[in-house]
Amino acid sequence: MIQAISVDMDGTFLDSNGEYNRERFEEIYANLRQSGIKFIVASGNQYYQLKSFFPGKDRELFYVAENGAVIFHNNKLLSVNQFSNTLVEKILRTLTEDYQDLQVILCGVKSAYLLKEADPNFKEFARKYYFELKEVESFSTLPDDTFIKFALDVAIHQTTQIVEQLNQTFQDDIRAVSSGHGSIDIIIPGVTKGSAIKQLLTQWQVSPEQLLAFGDANNDIEMLELTPHSYAMKESSQAVLATAKHIAPSSNEAGVLAVIEHYLDDKSNKPTK
């Protein structure tokens, strides 16, 4: 029996317009609550942005945000993995001194932060994904927060080189990964959507075999590896298609909702290939 469902958002749960069929989801959600099935929103995005997609006071949703660095439930922070302030300062110095034309967002639990002098186009882009975003004069003094990720914007042709340089410079202290289109995330090694969801499953005494998971990008792989009930969206990366056990219709076809409905309609609650 499925006891928990985890869904990536961009390219998975959300369509190409950044939306989903809310009325259809409400029917599914009511069924999930009645059945005691937990629903996990798992994304690389900020918690405050993610929860805006699911308004309402009576939501029993769990949010695995910032690629697993934080877990929220009912506006309460359940878990956080953080960089030390010393390491944050060292990373910021390296980014400032060694790289030109590089835009930086410092991601904290309370808010994300960027420089007032940042490129206006980058600021506009950042506001789409960071609903709690503050501008600071300088990073020489850190804001009063707990820091969990860096998001960088670089020239696309320099992405691979900068990722390799950062991983070499900081060795095992960080993990720099490309998220496409000139975006680079600096994350905590070993912290993934999969590790955060596994933590929740352990707390709930739910086995990974009772998890239904959906994703489309490489940062979903660890989550999909947890369970035999893993679905790659039809337009996923090749690595994701190779990892998942099943393929769902595309996000523009509401593939996640369709598969969940299939599970709910199936009395045995077992997948079909």
List, in sequence order, every residue forming a beta bridge with 215; answer none if it has no partner: 232
Active-site residue flag, 58: no
Which of 34, 49, 41, 78 lies closest to 202, judged by CA? Answer: 78
What pairing do the DSSP bridges indicate for beta strands 103-108 and 175-180? unpaired
- Choice among 8, 185, 216, 220 that is catalytic: 8
Polymer length of the chain? 273
For residue 161, what are the β-bridge partners?
none
Cα(45)–Cα(233) distance, rounded to whole angstroms? 19
Lookup result for tokens 């969801």: 197
Pairing of strands 211-215, 183-187: unpaired
Active site residues: 8
